[in-house]
A and B are shown apart, each in its own frame.
Chain A
Amino acid sequence: MLISEKHKLADIIPHDFRLIPIIARFDIPFGFGDKTIHQICEEKNINLYFFLEIINAFHDQNYKPDKQLQKFSLTVTVDYLLKSHRYYKAEKIPYINHLIEKLIWTKPEHVKNKSLITKFFTQYKNEVETHTKFEEKIIYPYVLEVEQAMLTNSISDEFKHKLSNSPVAKYKGEHEELNAALFDLKNIIIKYLPPADNSEITIRILTEIFRLEEDMKDHTHIEDKVLIPKVQNIENELLNRL
């Protein structure tokens, strides 16, 4: 289904509850009554078309957002990406970590399982930390700088140097590694890890990993297929102007 500005947000959520964290990323608190998406975006000063692109892309994997998303300013896109980082690091990952801590194996031959899975997840957590930090400290600020230079048509010498050593070119590929780690974790739990005594926790962990994986894939898709190509286009244009 194509979600449009005329839909009531309250009708959309029961239709696809996976959108809950996505909507939260736009700082829309619940209790919005029968307001349409159009009304809510207007009130909250959210770019309506950006909002629609993001939720449609998440809702329907066959939806092709790229062309439309290209129209939005990089600032809006970066802001959204930053909010999803916060969601992963402050909520999702700590929660999965907490659940993993609660797993129990009592049989002596199984005690090693807990430390194995904990170690694997800790390593993943650190990789996410390093990756997002790099994006927040280097990539995103650079992206905003590129946009600024384009808008103001002014390029300082310092920026000229950065432009010719663009950090975005070599940053592709890291996403595959991150997504692979979640893919592995899922299969290790489903196929290979001897069942824990408290299987209800395992069920919760798996559900959470599937959701995080889906969310992350969407996130990295926006970075790889929307943000980076757009930045590279502007870079080329700026370099031509020099």
Chain B
Amino acid sequence: MSVHTKLLFIIADKSYLIRSGIRKILEDYRPDAEIRETETMIGLKQALRSTAPDVLLCNVKIFGKTSGNIRKDLNININSKLIAIVGSMRCNEKISFFDEQICIDEDKATITETLNKIVETLPERTDTPDTSDLTERERDVLREVALGKSNKEIADYLNISTHTVISHRKNISNKLGIKTASGLTVYAILNNIITLN
């Protein structure tokens, strides 16, 4: 699962037409991106509670009359980029707290260009890692899982907490794209981490 490497966009706008239009442009621009939509402030707050988007595209109107520090109000991660969705007129000056703005009557190329400008400022993405990217500890845990041990047994054997074992297992599953214990066993045998006998 390349969860860590996929770009996450959130579109917050009351209008279905505008959300769908922006989604289409985003999909054409980055087919591999994950795109979420929300139409209300409450929905946006909920979405932000569980994830930090790479880019949040947000209609200013969604905030109602509050025009204080949006980043602070919404508790937006400092690494998230903010793009304002504005009506028919592009403001000349920067809208405070937003990194960029797109205007709904701009053509596709212009909007794509704005998106690209923002995405290029994001930190480098690495491709989905392969096994060699498993840390030594993760390989240890993987081996024990493949041998059929429980989390508790692994914790005792490696002298770490069960909690740590679980967190290693989550990372292993994310890196390999394999969730079940039997799937991990197959992987471990294929890669000679354990042998069949």
Chain B residues, CB < 8 A from A188: 178, 183, 186-187, 190
Chain A residues, CB < 8 A from B177: 183-184, 187, 191
Chain B residues, CB < 8 A from A66: none
**Cβ of B109 under 8 Å from chain A:** no
Neighbour of B189 across the interface among A116, A123, A181, A184, CB < 8 A: A116
Q: Which residue of B lies closest to A110 (CB)?
A: B190
Tell me whether A187 and B186 are in contact (CB under 8 A): no
Measured as residues with beta carbon below 8 angstroms from the partner, the interface class of chain A is 10 to 19
Q: Could you mark each residue 172-188 of chain B with 1 if its beta carbon is under 8 Å from any beta carbon of chain A, else 0?
A: 00001111101100110
Q: How many residues of B contact A (CB 8 A)?
A: 13
- Cα(A112)–Cα(B195), bound, Å: 11
Chain A residues, CB < 8 A from B196: 112
Are A193 and B190 CB-contacts (below 8 A) given A112-B196, A187-B177? yes
Chain B residues, CB < 8 A from A181: 180, 182-183
Tell me whether B187 and A192 are in contact (CB under 8 A): yes
A176-205 contacts to B, CB under 8 A, are 177, 180-181, 183-185, 187-188, 191-194
**Cβ of B191 under 8 Å from chain A:** yes
- Cα(A191)–Cα(B182), bound, Å: 16
**Cβ of A159 under 8 Å from chain B:** no
**Cβ of A117 under 8 Å from chain B:** yes
- Cα(A177)–Cα(B180), bound, Å: 8
User: Which secondary structure dominates where chain A touches chain B?
Assistant: helix
- Cα(A117)–Cα(B190), bound, Å: 11
Chain A residues, CB < 8 A from B183: 120, 180-181, 184-185, 187-188
Question: What's the nearest-Cβ distance from chain A to residue B158, in Å?
Answer: 24
Question: What's the nearest-Cβ distance from chain A to residue B160, in Å?
Answer: 24
Tell me whether B190 and A184 are in contact (CB under 8 A): no
Chain B residues, CB < 8 A from A185: 183
Are A120 and B186 CB-contacts (below 8 A) given A112-B196, A192-B191? yes
Q: Which residue of B lies closest to A192 (CB)?
A: B190
Q: Which residue of B lies closest to A180 (CB)?
A: B179
- Cα(A193)–Cα(B186), bound, Å: 9
Chain B residues, CB < 8 A from A177: 180
Q: Which residue of A lies closest to B176 (CB)?
A: A187
Instruction: Identify which of A183, A184, A188, A193 gathers the most chain B CB atoms within 10 Å of its CB.
Output: A184
Closest 10 A/B residue pairs (Cβ) = A184-B183, A187-B177, A180-B179, A184-B178, A180-B180, A184-B180, A116-B186, A192-B190, A120-B186, A181-B180
Q: Beyond A112-B196, A180-B179, list 20 extra A-B contacts (CB 8 Å).
A: A112-B189, A116-B189, A116-B190, A117-B186, A120-B186, A180-B180, A180-B183, A181-B180, A181-B182, A181-B183, A183-B179, A184-B182, A184-B183, A184-B186, A188-B178, A188-B187, A188-B190, A191-B177, A192-B186, A192-B187
| 15 pairs, A vs B, C-beta closer than 8 Å | A112-B189, A113-B190, A116-B186, A177-B180, A184-B177, A184-B180, A184-B182, A185-B183, A187-B177, A187-B183, A188-B178, A188-B183, A188-B190, A191-B177, A192-B186
